Amino acid sequence: MPAADVVIVGGGVTGASTAFQLAQRNAGKILLVERATVGAGPTAKSIGIIRLHYSYEPLIRLAVRSLEMFTRFEELTGGTADFTRAGFLLLATHAQLPAVQENVALQRRLGVRTSILSPEEIARLDPRMSLDDVGGAAFEPDSGYADGYATTTSFAAAARRAGAEIWEATRAERIVTENGRVTGLDTTRGPITSARVLVAAGPWTPHLMSTAGINVPIQASRQQVVQLEPPADFGRLEVVIEDMTQGFYGASEAGVRGGYASVYDITPDWQPVLGHVDAVEGLSVAAGFSGHGFKLGPALGECLAALILGEQPEIDISSFALSRFASGRLIRGKHIQGILG
Ligand SMILES: Cc1cc2nc3c(=O)[nH]c(=O)nc-3n(C[C@H](O)[C@H](O)[C@H](O)COP(=O)(O)OP(=O)(O)OC[C@H]3O[C@@H](n4cnc5c(N)ncnc54)[C@H](O)[C@@H]3O)c2cc1C
Give the 3-state DSSP-derived string for 299-334, with helices as H, strands as E and coil as C: HHHHHHHHHHCCCCCCCCCHHHCCHHHHHCCCCCCC
Residue of the nearest CA to atom 24 in ligand 1?
12
What CATH number is attached to the domain comprising 227? 3.50.50.60
Show the domain range for 10. Answer: 6-340
DSSP labels, 68-79:
HHHHTHHHHHSS
- Give CA–CA dist 120/142, Å, rounded: 21
d(CA 127, CA 245): 18
How many angstroms separate the CA atoms of 28 and 17, rounded?
16
Rounded to the nearest angstrom, the distance between the alpha carbon of 142 and the centre of ligand 1 is 24
Which stretches of the chain drop beneath a pLDDT of 50? none
pLDDT at 250: 82
Domain membership flag for residue 1 = no
* Structural domain contains residue 10: yes
Contacts for 2 with CB less than 8 Å, ≥ 6 apart: 31, 190, 192, 193
Q: What is the pTM of this model?
A: 0.95
The answer to whether residue 165 is domain-embedded is yes
Find the residues whose C-beta lies inside 6 A of ligand 1. Answer: 9-15, 33-36, 40-43, 45-49, 148, 171-172, 200-202, 204, 208, 223, 225, 262-264, 287, 289, 291-295
How many domains does the chain fold into?
Answer: 1
Ramachandran angles phi, psi of 184, nearest 5°: 160, -160
Give the model's pLDDT for residue 292.
95
- Cα(41) to ligand 1 centroid in Å equals 5
Q: What is the pLDDT of residue 50?
A: 97
How much distance in Å is there from the Cα of 13 to the middle of ligand 1? Answer: 7
Side chain identity at residue 32, one-letter code: L
Mutation choice for ligand 1 from 50, 294, 296, 300, CB with most ligand atoms inside 8 A: 294
Rounded to whole angstroms, the Cα distance separating 73 from 75 reads: 5
114 part of a folded domain: yes
Number of the ligand 1 atom closest to the C-alpha atom of 43: 21
- Is residue 211 one of the residues assigned to a domain? yes
CA of 219 to the centre of ligand 1 (A): 13
104 in any annotated domain? yes
**Distance between first and last Cα of the chain:** 43
37 belongs to a structural domain: yes
- What integer pLDDT is reported at residue 248 of this predicted model? 82
Ligand 1 centre distance from Cα of residue 43 (Å): 4
* Residue 11: CB atoms within 10 Å: 31
Confidence at residue 291, expressed as pLDDT on a 0 to 100 scale:
94
Structure letter (DSSP) for residue 213:
T
Q: Report d(CA 185, CA 197) in Å as an integer.
A: 8
147 Cα–ligand 1 center, Å:
13
In a domain, 245, yes or no: yes
Ligand 1, residue 145: give the atom nearest the CA.
8
